[in-house]
């Protein structure tokens, strides 16, 4: 009987030890899992903090960048806004409205604008940024470049805040530009964009009789009716062009007369009322293309094909013939009519002798030609 009771005691002791071991293991495991969970939470919190710090850093960087750009634009606007004016005119068909900017010609204060803004006006006024308006008179115009110079004799000199006009020779596609004007009468509106192209040509048949306005700047800066005549500026607030035209129903397709054209003409317009040094070839033509080359059995797919030679004009006197293809002038490659017209406008004057590089029946010719002067524009 004693032995049996001893066996039960041993079994109970073993059971107690096993329960203790299992309970201790479970408790240890529970404590271990708690530590793991705590570590995982700590890691997660650290990751969230890092993420927030990274996001804050990016937001701060972006805010700084935007702030700096906005500051540049705001400072430029403040510097030039008082130089931009509102121009109103009365014509036989009603009223016209446009923009312009103050400029100093050898100490004489004038307003520079577009020819088409003042064309045909019987009365004209200029209103400055402070709201003061004065009667104005047209001093000089050139329809072939769409430039006009306006005098405001009754305005005190303190109204004029002349802008500086700088060379457009160094402009490149992608340069940021600023346009300031009065679209739809909304005085002092600023838009920004980039130079989309240079060396374009546009035609205003009503004023130029079909002749191209050459060497035009194309820009993505939004331009609307009323902007015409306002300045196109670089980030330093200096004039690189005059906004002049848009393509109807287009988006981001505006044009401006380059500052080099303004600088070349403005003194003559102020003193003589006109500028008539536009070179003239006396031909009509069209751009070459692969398809045109196939039709003409030509081995060149670029250049400008002569379609018509004006009788007794410069090209006629030089011996140019229909179907000749102008591929260069003075050794400068000419790919199309835009480049030809822009080259003539920028680098030549009437009575100058140039060398036309022609292709005639697949033979290359060098032909001296004395440039003429464009006939007067239509009234």
Cβ-count burial 158-167 (b if 16+ within 10 Å, e if not): ebbbbbebbe
Determine which one of 83, 189, 196, 228 is catalytic: 228
116 is catalytic: yes
Element (H, E) at 42: helix 2-80
Tokens of 203: 């035609």
Give the distance from CA 311 to its chain's centroid.
40
8 is catalytic: no
Q: Which residues contact 312 (CB under 8 A, 6 or more apart)?
A: none
Determine which one of 116, 119, 196, 279 is catalytic: 116
Q: Which residues contact 278 (CB under 8 A, 6 or more apart)?
A: 144, 145, 211, 345, 350, 373, 374
Q: Which residues contact 225 (CB under 8 A, 6 or more apart)?
A: 183, 184
* Biggest CA-to-CA distance, the chain: 149
Report the C-alpha gap between 162 and 139 in whole angstroms: 17
Per-residue DSSP letter, 313: S
Is residue 355 within 8 Å of 367, Cβ to Cβ? Answer: yes
236 is catalytic: no
What's the Cα-to-Cα distance from 297 to each of 287, 294, 303, 328, 336, rounded to whole Å?
A: 15, 5, 15, 20, 18
Q: Which residues contact 298 (CB under 8 A, 6 or more apart)?
A: 288, 292, 325, 359, 362
Tokens of 113: 């604008």
Determine which one of 83, 145, 146, 151 is catalytic: 146
What's the Cα-to-Cα distance from 357 to each of 247, 300, 318, 324, 338, rounded to whole Å?
A: 33, 13, 12, 10, 16
Q: Which residues are catalytic?
A: 116, 146, 228
């Amino acid at each position: 009987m004693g032995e049996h009771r001893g066996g039960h005691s041993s079994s109970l002791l073993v059971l107690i030890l096993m329960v203790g071991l299992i309970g201790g293991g479970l408790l240890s495991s529970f404590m271990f899992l708690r530590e793991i969970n705590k570590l995982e939470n700590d890691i997660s919190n650290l990751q969230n903090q890092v993420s927030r710090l990274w996001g804050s850093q990016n937001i701060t960087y972006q805010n700084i960048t935007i702030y700096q750009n906005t500051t540049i634009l705001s400072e430029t606007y403040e510097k030039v806004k008082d130089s931009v004016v509102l121009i109103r005119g009365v014509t036989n068909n009603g009223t016209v409205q446009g923009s312009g900017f103050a400029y100093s010609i050898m100490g004489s204060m004038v307003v520079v604008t577009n020819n088409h803004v003042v064309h045909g006006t019987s009365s004209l006024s200029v209103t400055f940024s402070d709201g003061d308006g004065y009667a104005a008179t047209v001093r000089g115009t050139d329809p072939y470049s769409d430039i006009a110079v306006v005098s405001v004799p009754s305005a005190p000199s303190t109204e004029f805040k002349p802008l500086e006009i700088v060379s457009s020779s160094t402009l490149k596609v992608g340069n940021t530009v600023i346009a300031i004007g009065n679209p739809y009468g909304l005085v002092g509106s600023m838009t920004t964009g980039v130079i989309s192209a240079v060396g374009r040509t546009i035609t205003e048949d009503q004023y130029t009789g079909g002749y191209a306005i050459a060497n035009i700047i194309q820009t993505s800066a939004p331009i609307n009716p009323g902007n015409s005549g306002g300045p196109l500026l670089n980030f330093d607030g200096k004039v690189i062009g005059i906004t002049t035209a848009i393509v109807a129903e287009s988006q981001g397709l505006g044009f401006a007369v380059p500052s080099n054209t303004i600088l070349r003409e403005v003194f003559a317009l102020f003193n003589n009322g006109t500028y008539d040094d536009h070179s003239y070839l006396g031909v009509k033509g069209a751009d070459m293309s692969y398809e045109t080359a196939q039709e003409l059995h030509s081995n060149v797919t670029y250049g400008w094909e002569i379609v018509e030679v004006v009788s007794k004009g410069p090209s006629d006197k030089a011996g140019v013939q229909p179907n000749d293809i102008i591929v260069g002038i003075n050794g400068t490659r000419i790919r199309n009519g835009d480049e030809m017209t822009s080259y003539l406008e920028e680098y030549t004057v009437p009575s100058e002798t140039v060398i036309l590089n022609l292709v005639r029946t697949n033979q290359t010719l060098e032909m001296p030609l004395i440039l003429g002067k464009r006939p007067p524009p239509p009234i």
